[in-house]
A and B are shown apart, each in its own frame.
Chain A
């Protein structure tokens, strides 16, 4: 019987480093344009509400804080499409790299 041609690759893989990483101890780098947790820059925001209007997941609501109106993002609803970043005329919403968003309560997922 002929040996399967994959056997050579299997043998060489025995002496290679594993492809996977031990996740909680080592994290793979994310792309520079990765779409993670948002950063809302309050000083740039004018409170126009375009982001709340366009959001495909209805995750953004406008809330009055002090004497101004700011967007509140519910990360539980967010689909991370970043249409809000595209539509913002002042660049007040920025891409963050944080992807570990699990939480014990839903209230923690609301980004103010």
Chain B
């Protein structure tokens, strides 16, 4: 059998970002993986240091559209840390609520996409129907379905009324029931089990060695969650324990996401009950009041997210801004998962780390020896390998 390079990427419309993978395959088995990242380098870090702190929040929001709230939250926390600003308690609770709603919609999105890729379109539709409920809640609180623009330096944009609180509680109550039903489906359904169990296995030791973060690590039994370890926003008063599965396969990573969505509902309900009254924002200076570094780590839906900002006294722009996103940390882990698996399992394994890039849509099969090239789209591939 001659060695064949299977090239996936870089341009795909289904997921969110371009990404190229070269798979060395022997028959149907993946032997080696070469990732090639950097197709969507937008120079955001430099652009962040060219704009004022207020403008930076909106640029940071656009690093990732799906997890936009966590990017603004981390950015404002880092800037507040540099400025030395104390945020009102109520604002911290409101931030937590919107942050968790954002996590819910992100997890439901990827669970839906995972179901679609494993050929289970019914569950995909049901997940996305329930995701609409979360999107509507975000619109009620912040004024827009996706781009929330809610967190600002020194607090949040607007307060939440009692009527809105009752709306959220009503919607989340029925949501929890449906999610428990889907969890049962995920545990029992033959389609899901056949496509996910023992697919893309990564042991706990390898996960630790490769430095995976977020649900990818928690699916392999590594108990890391910034919300539990280093509480930010309101997590110091709303206790949280990390959801951990020990199986280490794609199924475990998807189950972590379902359980985290259920946990998010609990967190939001606790936040709504315990929320203190008071102001939601404090006035902040336009320019940095001191020369300092700001630092913030949060748990994004995909894992640990870090923003690091340097501010100089009297300047309204940061000198240097650094962002470290979770998918970057998960790429070595996903390459390890894919090795030894079948070509048909590539989409499910890739989607199980909830990548922030699009990679499962077009496949070019290249025979290295003859130079022959065939291009197949994802639907042909799915049809071929669904059986």
Identify which of B52, B126, B143, B190 gathers the most chain A CB atoms within 10 Å of its CB: B143
Could you count the A-B residue pairs with CB atoms below 8 Å apart for me: how many are there?
A: 61
Known: A6-B189, A54-B54. A95 touches B143 (CB 8 A): yes
**B372: Cβ under 8 A from any A Cβ:** no
A83, B54: Cβ atoms under 8 Å?
yes
Report the bound CA distance from A80 to B139 in whole Å: 14
Nearest CB to that of A30 among chain B residues? Answer: B139
A12 CB to nearest B CB, Å: 12
B379 CB to nearest A CB, Å: 22
Within 8 A of B (CB), among A19-41: 19, 30-31, 33-35
* Chain B residues with CB under 8 A of A47: none
Nearest CB to that of B181 among chain A residues? Answer: A9
**A86: Cβ under 8 A from any B Cβ:** yes
**A56: Cβ under 8 A from any B Cβ:** yes
A81, B185: Cβ atoms under 8 Å?
no
B53 CB to nearest A CB, Å: 11
A35, B149: Cβ atoms under 8 Å?
yes
* Chain B residues with CB under 8 A of A83: 54, 58, 149
Q: What size tier do the contact residues of chain A reach?
A: 20 to 34
Report the bound CA distance from A30 to B138 in whole Å: 12
B177 CB to nearest A CB, Å: 12
A56, B51: Cβ atoms under 8 Å?
yes
B122, A10: Cβ atoms under 8 Å?
yes
Report the bound CA distance from A84 to B373 in whole Å: 53
Report the bound CA distance from A34 to B144 in whole Å: 6
B149, A81: Cβ atoms under 8 Å?
yes
**A5: Cβ under 8 A from any B Cβ:** yes
B143, A31: Cβ atoms under 8 Å?
yes
B190, A81: Cβ atoms under 8 Å?
no
Known: A4-B189, A56-B51. A86 touches B139 (CB 8 A): no
Report the bound CA distance from A9 to B130 in whole Å: 14
A5, B147: Cβ atoms under 8 Å?
no
A6, B122: Cβ atoms under 8 Å?
yes
Within 8 A of B (CB), among A34-66: 34-35, 54-57
B185, A56: Cβ atoms under 8 Å?
no
Residue of A19, A79, A80, A95 near B129 (CB, 8 A) is A19
* Chain A residues with CB under 8 A of B57: 56
Nearest CB to that of B142 among chain A residues? Answer: A33
* Chain A residues with CB under 8 A of B126: 6, 9
Within 8 A of A (CB), among B153-170: 157-158
A35, B55: Cβ atoms under 8 Å?
no
B189, A82: Cβ atoms under 8 Å?
no
B188, A56: Cβ atoms under 8 Å?
no
* Chain B residues with CB under 8 A of A4: 185, 188-191
Report the bound CA distance from A17 to B59 in whole Å: 40
B197 CB to nearest A CB, Å: 16
* Chain B residues with CB under 8 A of A31: 139-140, 143
* Chain A residues with CB under 8 A of B143: 31, 33-35, 82, 95
Q: Can you sample 9 A-B contacts with CB below 8 Å?
A: A6-B185, A30-B139, A33-B143, A35-B143, A56-B55, A57-B58, A79-B62, A81-B58, A82-B149
User: Which A residues contact B (CB, under 8 angstroms)?
Assistant: 2, 4-6, 9-10, 19, 30-31, 33-35, 54-57, 79-83, 86, 95
User: Which B residues contact A (CB, under 8 angstroms)?
Assistant: 51-52, 54-55, 57-59, 62, 122-123, 126, 129, 132, 139-140, 142-144, 147, 149, 152, 157-158, 181, 184-185, 188-191
Known: A4-B189, A9-B181, A80-B144. 14 other contacts (CB 8 A): A4-B188, A6-B126, A6-B185, A10-B122, A33-B142, A54-B54, A56-B51, A56-B59, A79-B62, A80-B149, A81-B149, A82-B143, A83-B58, A86-B157
